[in-house]
A and B are shown apart, each in its own frame.
Chain A
Amino acid sequence: QQQVKQSPQSLIVQKGGISIINCAYENTAFDYFPWYQQFPGKGPALLIAIRPDVSEKKEGRFTISFNKSAKQFSLHIMDSQPGDSATYFCAASMRGDKLIFGTGTRLQVFP
């Protein structure tokens, strides 16, 4: 029940395309859902986060879509660029407790 399932494990997208990464959870008590971005040789960094009282949050080309009834949330990267090539982790937590991370998605954007 504490797991966050992330898919796909890897994703190849052409420049200008849309990248979509999906996550699913079981624990309905989760109330905070961040996405972290990790470039090779670096630690992860917070990209965008959402609380379950909204269904969508957009920051530039990055959008989180949240479906509370389906217990799923996804990251959409519009107009994907080679500089977006990185590993992306979704995560979830409840009531300020520790973060539970997904297994990661390696995104490669080709010119």
Chain B
Amino acid sequence: DVKVTQSSRYLVKRTGEKVFLECVQDMDHENMFWYRQDPGLGLRLIYFSYDVKMKEKGDIPEGYSVSREKKERFSLILESASTNQTSMYLCASSLFGGVSYNEQFFGPGTRLTVL
């Protein structure tokens, strides 16, 4: 079974803090994704990566950055957290062969609250 794990289920941070969300997958997938999920807005893509050290902006990259130093790990960074970044963050991975024709496997999510 593919397993995508996220470092925290719940996280509370203060405005202005630097926040790291970590994601690890154990199936040697090339593609990794970060989404945020908000009620009524669905899943919105923040960043994705199709290879180590490669990254592409998604639909809402402002205020975020990412890092992929190893194939299995994809980190989302909030340089200076703001209250409007309070959300559920979901990480996903998939095999290579087109970014999305292959099934995306999601982690359980990190619910981030910024006070």
Contact = CB atoms under 8 A, between A and B. Distances in A.
A95 B44 CA distance: 19
B43 interface: yes
B15 interface: no
Contacts of A101: 35, 42-44
A32 B90 contact: no
A93 B108 CA distance: 23
B40 A96 contact: no
Count class of interface residues, chain A: 20 to 34
B45 A96 contact: no
Contact of B106 (A9, A41, A43, A96): A43
Interface string A92-109: 010111110111100000
A6 interface: yes
Given A44-B90, A96-B100, A98-B58, 17 more contacts: A41-B108, A42-B106, A42-B108, A43-B90, A43-B92, A46-B104, A89-B43, A93-B100, A93-B101, A96-B101, A97-B99, A97-B100, A98-B99, A101-B42, A101-B43, A103-B41, A104-B43
A45 to B, nearest CB: 7
A95 B35 CA distance: 20
Name the residue among B90, B101, B103, B109 with the largest chain A CB count within 10 angstroms: B101
A93 B106 CA distance: 17
B108 A43 contact: yes
Interface string A3-30: 0001001000000000000000000000
B42 A103 contact: yes
A98 B100 contact: yes
A52 to B, nearest CB: 13
Contact of B98 (A9, A43, A95): A95
A102 B90 contact: no
A24 to B, nearest CB: 14
